[in-house]
């Protein structure tokens, strides 16, 4: 007897994909393409093709590229960075611990989300990057001043080297955490360093910072 077709087009016994699942999958597809090609070089039609959906369905879920980028920030990037801010607030009484917490938290996030460093370099640090203003309006604008003020307070109490500029120290911290992951394919090859993982990077970075900042806990 011929097999009866399922009117939904699904194989018998296969659960239907919910709208939420489909939307999250398409957001992951867009994220992967943006990290690889850049946002400007990735039209919505390319996302639809890679996601194996029609452009109309992609438009149904996101409407426009701007709304897709808003969803990317709200649902992928900011949820990764907000816990870092929470960790900093929890250690507000101890600047040295705050810095260690920031380094370890960022390394964990970057290791678990390899799409983030290239996206950061391409779309946040590069002039004209399409995520810069969104990130500045989001959690980043609440993390950087928090860390700057903590460093300044620690300097005033003699815990941190007074010759350092708290603002530039924040810049140095970001450079020592995000850049190693963004440039990882280069330095691991040049320096025969494939064995260096996030834990080892964190240990090295904290040792480097401990001497430079003259932290009490170093």
Which pLDDT tens digit goes with each residue over 143-185?
Answer: 888 889 888 988 888 888 888 899 999 999 888 998 898 899 8
Q: How far apart are CA 120 and CA 53, in angstroms?
A: 27
The model's pTM is 0.76
109 pLDDT above the threshold of 60: yes
Q: What is the pLDDT of residue 50?
A: 96
Q: What is the number of alpha carbons within 13 Å of residue 147 lying toward its C-beta? A: 28
d(CA 175, CA 162): 21
Q: What is the predicted pLDDT for the residue at 23?
A: 95
For range 198-205, the mean pLDDT: 90
pLDDT of residue 162: 87
């Amino acid at each position: 007897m011929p097999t009866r077709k399922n009117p939904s087009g699904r194989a018998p016994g296969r659960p239907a994909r919910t709208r939420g699942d489909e939307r999250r999958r398409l957001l992951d597809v867009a994220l992967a393409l943006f990290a690889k090609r850049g946002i400007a070089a990735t039209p919505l039609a390319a996302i639809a093709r890679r996601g194996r959906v029609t452009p109309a369905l992609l438009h149904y879920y996101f409407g426009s590229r701007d709304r897709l980028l808003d969803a990317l920030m709200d649902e992928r990037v900011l949820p990764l960075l907000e816990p870092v801010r929470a960790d900093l607030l929890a250690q507000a009484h101890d600047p040295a611990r705050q810095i260690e917490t920031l380094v370890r938290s960022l390394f964990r996030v970057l290791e678990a989300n390899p799409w983030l460093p290239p996206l950061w370099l391409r779309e946040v640090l590069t002039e004209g990057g399409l995520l810069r203003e969104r990130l500045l309006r989001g959690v980043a604008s609440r993390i950087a001043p928090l860390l700057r003020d903590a460093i300044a307070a620690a300097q005033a109490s003699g815990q941190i080297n007074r010759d350092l500029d708290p603002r530039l120290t924040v810049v140095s911290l970001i450079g020592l955490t995000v850049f190693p992951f963004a440039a990882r394919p280069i330095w691991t090859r040049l320096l025969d360093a494939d064995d260096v993982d996030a834990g080892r990077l964190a240990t090295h970075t904290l040792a480097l910072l401990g001497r430079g900042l003259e932290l009490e806990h170093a």
